[in-house]
Amino acid sequence: MEAKTTIGEILNGRNKVVVPSYQRAYAWEIPKENRTRATQIDVFIQDLEEYLKSNPTSPYYFGHFLFEKKGDYLFNIIDGQQRLTTIVIFLSAIFKKITEFRDWTENEEFLYETMIKRKSTIHFETVDYDNLLFKDYVITQERKDKNGIETESGKRIVAAFDYFNNALKEKNEDYCTRILKAITTAVCTTHEVTDESEAIQMFIFQNNRGKKPTNLEIIKAQFMYQVHLYGGDEKEAVINEIKERFEKIYKSISSIEYKISEDDVLTYTLRVHFNSLWENNAVNRVNEELTKNNGIEFVKEFTKSLAISFEHLTRFFGKDERENFAIHSFITLGGIGIAVPFILKSYRFGLSITVISELCLNFETIVLRNRLIGTRADITSRLNDVYQGFTKNNTDIHPITSRIHFIRNTQNGWWDYWNNIELEKAIQGSLNHSVAKFILWKYENKLEAEGKSGYAQSRFDKIENPELEHLAPTTEPSVKPHGYGVYDEEFRQQYLNCLGNYLLLSKSHNCSVSNNHLKDKINSYNHLAQQREIKDFITESGLWDKEAITNRKTKIVKFVMDNF
């Protein structure tokens, strides 16, 4: 490839460009409903459209691409794969749209065959575990359904193609031909290397317009570069091992990335690998290790450790979360970072799912307290010694659960930040809404279970778009009487925002009741046990007032104190 070229030349009929499986899969996202934050996909279209509106006299610029040459016309893309994948998806949508107006011209058919597909030859391939979906849904468009897509990157590919098709729905023929020309003639710069170590070194120091490299990507590149420099006779074997492990890692990321960030997994792996909860700066720690005896043994050991962490967390956030209520509950709570290294160790030591669930139940109590109380005191220093004592030669979790029990109940000055006294203080007033929803969901299960034997607890995701309703509205209804008592300063400050006045509702239900009269709300409260229970707290005067809110709050606070 020429150093300065066009997209049409990169994707010409001779070249084949492949995203190697040890690279990140497709990561660009479409805009989300009711969100104003721009995503890479809509910026991609907006930039092209702004270019067309400007009546340009010079070609559009698509940035820089880095390739590793693997054969005469075969190239691995090392940097720029997100942009190039998006370009191919968009081109496929444009060609599809043009067929709605007319048959392709001879030039358009030539462009399609040279840039997208000629007979059975496809000129661009994404990572192998997404490539069949990419081919069937985007290139040949033989697949129409979206069922059974296992990776988040695969879902993004489908979403991007659908988004582009929708964006082109109202566009005319002139728009499509102009934007097709703009893309195919767009200029870019490329750097082509045949030495993989050079490509990796360039990746480490190069920042393009696409997604900024994560710490995990930087460390992967550092590892491969280190092996190229110091690997000696085992260089090829170690490089292949790193690629194979990162292929598995990126597959795992595609499954769990909305539940935990890859850089957090990197940090948790560091804490497991060095057996300390104080490990935080992964890049600095890795660089330090690479200076010791050329670092090759560390590269092999830590890459394996990373792959194991991702494998176990994929199971934890996937199959085990679906099948174990304690794990589902803990993940639903959120803010579980302090516990993840303990959980990773548990999987590594081969502990049963029953033991892991017990660990989650115990950590749930301290994580909830930590989120509610909001103390600046550090929980890490109170747990690090029992964490370090939890080893493959000592897999008993009793010291861990005993420490958590002690923290919950002690009145010792250095430990008592999370005790029962502080918890009861913390749940009297306004709460973080996600934590309040969690508490009310657990309270809902308690109500549902009363008087029932063999009761199966309801998952949080059983509630459709759960929201926190203020039974007495935060804004006093204008029509009186409304049934909510007197909106004096005390009522506004101490009663509106508390557990006694919070209620769990679906989003659609919450929107429908809004600032309605109390009787209208009560009549609609028939979906959850806590909704049906509200009428039990209504005062003799028929009001939802300070007395009613206090009585309900007292009951929920007792539930929290008894269970957390």
User: Tens digit of pLDDT for each residue in 259-317?
Assistant: 999 999 999 999 999 999 999 999 999 999 998 878 899 999 999 999 999 999 999 99
Percent of the chain with pLDDT over 90: 54
Residue 25, pLDDT score? 87
The residue among 386 and 209 whose pLDDT is bigger is: 386
From residue 416, how far is each of 349, 358, 392, 406, 419 by CA, in Å? 31, 23, 31, 9, 5
Residue 157, pLDDT score? 94
From residue 84, how far is each of 10, 47, 90 by CA, in Å? 10, 15, 10
Strands 124-125 and 16-18, bridge-based pairing: parallel
Where does the pLDDT of residue 198 fall: very low under 50, low under 70, confident under 90, or very high at 90 and above? low
Pull the structure tokens for residue 8.
């049409």
Where does the pLDDT of residue 207 fall: very low under 50, low under 70, confident under 90, or very high at 90 and above? very low
Residue 251, pLDDT score? 85
Given a cut of 60, whether residue 91 has pLDDT beyond it is: yes
Given a cut of 80, whether residue 208 has pLDDT beyond it is: no
- Please write the tens of the pLDDT for every residue from 145-155: 888 888 888 99
b/e code 207-229 from CB counts within 10 Å (16+ = b):
ebebeebbbbbbbbbbbbbbbbe
Given a cut of 80, whether residue 391 has pLDDT beyond it is: yes
The answer to pTM > 0.75 is yes
Q: What is the enclosing helix (H) or strand (E) of 193?
A: strand 187-193
The answer to whether the CB of 366 falls within 8 A of the CB of 360 is no
Residue 514, pLDDT score? 64
CA distance 67 to 54: 32
From residue 277, how far is each of 158, 341, 378, 388 by CA, in Å? 39, 8, 12, 8
Which residue's structure tokens are 């493959």?
392
Given a cut of 60, whether residue 372 has pLDDT beyond it is: yes
Strands 502-506 and 466-470, bridge-based pairing: antiparallel
Residue 327, pLDDT score? 97
Least confident span in 53-62, 295-304, 430-439: 53-62
Residue 361, pLDDT score? 97
Most confident of 147-151, 208-212, 233-237, 363-367: 363-367
Given a cut of 70, whether residue 206 has pLDDT beyond it is: no
DSSP string covering 32-101: PTT-----HHHHHHHHHHHHHHT--SS--EEEEEEEEE-SSSEEEEEE-HHHHHHHHHHHHHHHHHHHHH
Least confident span in 36-40, 43-47, 229-233: 36-40
Where does the pLDDT of residue 73 fall: very low under 50, low under 70, confident under 90, or very high at 90 and above? confident
Given a cut of 50, whether residue 209 has pLDDT beyond it is: no
- Please write the tens of the pLDDT for every residue from 95-136: 999 999 989 988 888 888 878 887 778 889 998 889 999 999
Residue 346, pLDDT score? 97
DSSP string covering 315-375: HHHTHHHHH-HHHHHHHHH---TTTHHHHHHHHHTT--HHHHHHHHHHHHHHHHHHHHH--
Given a cut of 50, whether residue 425 has pLDDT beyond it is: yes
Single out the residue of 106, 151, 115 nearest to residue 131, CA to CA. 151
Where does the pLDDT of residue 224 fall: very low under 50, low under 70, confident under 90, or very high at 90 and above? confident
CA distance 331 to 322: 11
The residue among 271 and 217 whose pLDDT is bigger is: 271
Percent of the chain with pLDDT over 70: 93
Where does the pLDDT of residue 505 fall: very low under 50, low under 70, confident under 90, or very high at 90 and above? confident
Residue 462, pLDDT score? 87
The answer to whether the CB of 168 falls within 8 A of the CB of 93 is yes
The answer to whether the CB of 353 falls within 8 A of the CB of 292 is no
DSSP string covering 278-306: T---HHHHHHHHHTSGGGHHHHHHHHHHH
DSSP string covering 195-217: -HHHHHHHHHH---SSPPPPHHH
Residue 420, pLDDT score? 95
CA distance 78 to 243: 13
CA distance 377 to 370: 9
Pull the structure tokens for residue 463.
């509630």
Mean pLDDT, range 195-208, rounded to an integer: 59
Share the mean pLDDT of the chain. Answer: 89
Residue 397, pLDDT score? 97
Backbone φ and ψ of 63, nearest 5°: 90, -160
Residue 446, pLDDT score? 92
The answer to whether the CB of 30 falls within 8 A of the CB of 39 is yes
Biggest CA-to-CA distance, the chain? 87
- Please write the tens of the pLDDT for every residue from 507-551: 666 555 666 788 888 888 888 888 889 989 998 888 999 999 999
**Spans of all domains in the chain:** 4-195, 199-418, 433-456+463-563
CA distance 138 to 134: 5
Q: Which of left, alpha, beta for 363 (phi over 0: left; psi -120 to 50: alpha)?
A: alpha
Where does the pLDDT of residue 15 fall: very low under 50, low under 70, confident under 90, or very high at 90 and above? confident
- Please write the tens of the pLDDT for every residue from 463-490: 888 889 899 998 888 888 888 989 999 9
Given a cut of 60, whether residue 210 has pLDDT beyond it is: no
Burial of 458 (0-12, 13-18, 19+ CB in 10 A): middle
